[in-house]
A and B are shown apart, each in its own frame.
Chain A
Amino acid sequence: MNNANKHPEDELLAAYSAASLPLSQALCISIHLERCPDCGRKLQRLNRVGSELMQQLKPAPAADELKNRLLDRLDSLSEENSEQAHPLPDSTVPRCLQQFVHGNYDDLPWRRVSADIRSVELCRDSNGARVELLKIKPGGSAITHTHLGDEYTVILEGSFSDEAGLYGEGDFLLRGKHDKHTPVASLHRECLCLAVTEGPIQFTGFFSRLMNPFIRRSYA
């Protein structure tokens, strides 16, 4: 079992339990939860908080008509309703990512970002956040960068380290506005992660700083 050892903060997990956070963030947390029984147990208790709060609401009575209409329909319901997609049986792709990755990660239209990094954008969230997969070559390094918004990362395969520590499969990281970091993939294998970036990132090296105007433009 590889249990993740870097976890989302409690208030973020609570927002997930309430489903009151941007879906792109929820996506990262959901991936982490698939691999982290400890956070899964916390989530059970957080769900109970939601449940208790719901019980304390002042009931808003429903019209009898609503009940009768539903009771009349019950017999016809049984079959039609199996809308939930079935997860691919042997896939290593987390269930919640299968809506974007239908088969294999390799089949995606990867784009070169630098000598060490490939990326593919999966979608944008309604708050403008960019949801992308990043692939870092073994021993490869991302350019040192800071963020204009928060960056959420969850590691799907492999591992990387940055100034703050070492991260492995399932680990969750949140880097805020002013954190500067340089992720470096481990030597023995490439590192695949999902990154959600809530604003353009800022490269801080001298030459790479020259790239900032172009990057920012692509966010418009």
Chain B
Amino acid sequence: MVSMANQRSPGDKLTELSASLSLVANNRDKEAFARLFDHYAPLIRAYSLAREPGADLVADELVQEVMTRVWLKADKYNDRLANLNTWIFTLARNCRIDYLRRNSRYLTEIDPTDIFNEIEDDGPGPFQQVQQSRAEESIRAGLKQLPREQAEILTKVYLEGKSHQQASNELKLPLGTVKSRVRLALKKLEVLVVR
């Protein structure tokens, strides 16, 4: 763990939450689970509402799904593969896709379950951890400095769940512009440099 000099940095909060998750995994500690709920449920609801504004019941259902998985899969979580925020994000993402499909928002027979994998500890896999904390800091700082139109496109893609084509229709921009804005944003965030 990288030590953070500042008091109450996002890193401290994350360390606390990770400790709660260990308690859930090892001791089936419900109070620790409640602390995780208090922190993540509002974010999961916000994530759901970003895609379907006003759909409070859907948002509640997503919270239930995701937090249920947190309870059941806490022992599969490995902090060397992803930090807790990222693990929760992938759970929320997968549950949201699953929910949309079950409620036939997609008219397709393709089951997303095995397509969007969960970050689980299956022993030493091919995707080993990279220097995490540094990369997180730089992503966090980078997001704040993105030009508005690039931040907007990332929000559409990641939070509202819009495909490039949908984003292009909504923003009345050519598809190529949408793609290049995503690419520029990622470049600024330095996510693509393989270290």
Contacts and interface: CB of A to CB of B under 8 A. Distances in A.
Interface of A: 9-11, 14-24, 26-27, 30, 37-38, 40-63, 66-67, 70-71, 74, 77-78, 81, 83-85, 87, 95-96, 98-99, 123-126, 131
Nearest to B111: A99
A51 B108 contact: no
Given A40-B127, A55-B43, A50 B72 contact: no
Given A42-B191, A44-B82, A74-B33, A53 B158 contact: yes
Contacts of A53: 143, 154-155, 158-159
Contacts of B108: 23-24, 123-126
Nearest to B45: A60
A10 B68 contact: no
B158 A85 contact: no
A20 B68 CA distance: 23
22 contacts: A10-B182, A10-B183, A10-B186, A11-B164, A16-B116, A19-B97, A30-B117, A41-B127, A48-B139, A49-B191, A51-B89, A54-B43, A54-B46, A54-B158, A57-B46, A59-B45, A67-B34, A67-B37, A70-B37, A74-B30, A77-B68, A99-B111
Nearest to A16: B116
B192 interface: yes
B17 to A, nearest CB: 11
A71 B113 CA distance: 26
Interface of B: 10, 30, 33-34, 37-38, 41-43, 45-47, 49-50, 59-60, 63-64, 67-68, 71-72, 81-83, 85-86, 88-90, 92-94, 96-97, 106-117, 119, 126-127, 129-130, 135-136, 139-140, 143, 154-155, 157-164, 179-180, 182-183, 186, 189, 191-192, 194
Contact of B30 (A71, A81, A87): A71
Given A11-B179, A48-B136, A49-B139, A30 B111 contact: no
A66 B182 contact: no
Given A14-B158, A27-B115, A54-B85, 14 more contacts: A20-B157, A20-B158, A30-B116, A44-B82, A48-B82, A48-B135, A50-B86, A52-B136, A54-B46, A62-B63, A67-B41, A87-B114, A125-B110, A126-B108
Give me the 8 closest cross-chain CB pairs, A-B, nearest first: A59-B42, A57-B46, A40-B127, A51-B89, A60-B45, A62-B41, A11-B182, A51-B86
A60 B49 contact: yes
A24 to B, nearest CB: 6
Given A71-B34, A96-B115, A14 B72 contact: no
Contacts of B114: 30, 84-85, 87, 95-96, 98-99
Contacts, number: 210
Contacts of B159: 53-54, 57
B191 A45 contact: yes
B186 A123 contact: no
A33 to B, nearest CB: 8
A72 to B, nearest CB: 10
Contacts of A124: 108-109
Contact of A123 (B34, B86, B109, B183): B109
A125 B111 CA distance: 11
Nearest to B39: A59
A52 B112 contact: no
Nearest to A81: B72
A208 to B, nearest CB: 29
Nearest to B60: A66
From B42, B59, B115, B126, name the one whose CB has the most chain A CB atoms within 10 angstroms. B115
Contacts of B180: 11
A77 to B, nearest CB: 6
